[in-house]
Amino acid sequence: MNEPDISRIIEMAWEDRTPFDAIEAQFGLNEQAVKELMRSNLKRSSYQLWRKRVTGRGTKHLAKRSFSVGRHQSYDHNKH
């Protein structure tokens, strides 16, 4: 995997409204693979902060999202 893809996956993983399913659809990485990528590319404290943030967050899983949450696209999404 190249550096821009890794950077984008990390960015998507940090976004509250981007579900793991979207990362899997775009990059082929399931939730466990995203966790492993984050662990290997972030500082330990950053990884722990991220895990604490996403644990139990319903918006990171499509099945747990209510329809009212909808889809959000970051202002920076198409910054390439």
pLDDT band at 44 (very low <50, low <70, confident <90, very high): very high
- Position 73 in a domain: no
Domain count of the fold of the chain: 1
Confidence (pLDDT) at 16 = 86
Domain of 56, in residue numbers: 3-66
**21-26 average pLDDT score:** 95
Where residue 43 falls (left for φ over 0; alpha for ψ -120 to 50; beta otherwise) is beta
Residue 1, pLDDT score:
87
In a domain, 74, yes or no: no
Domain assignment of residue 7, yes or no: yes
Mean pLDDT of 42-71: 77
Q: Is residue 75 part of a domain?
A: no
pLDDT at 74 over 60: yes
Q: 20-29, 33-42, 56-65: lowest mean pLDDT where? A: 56-65
**Residue 25 in domain:** yes
- Cβ atoms of 5 and 27 within 8 Å: the answer is yes
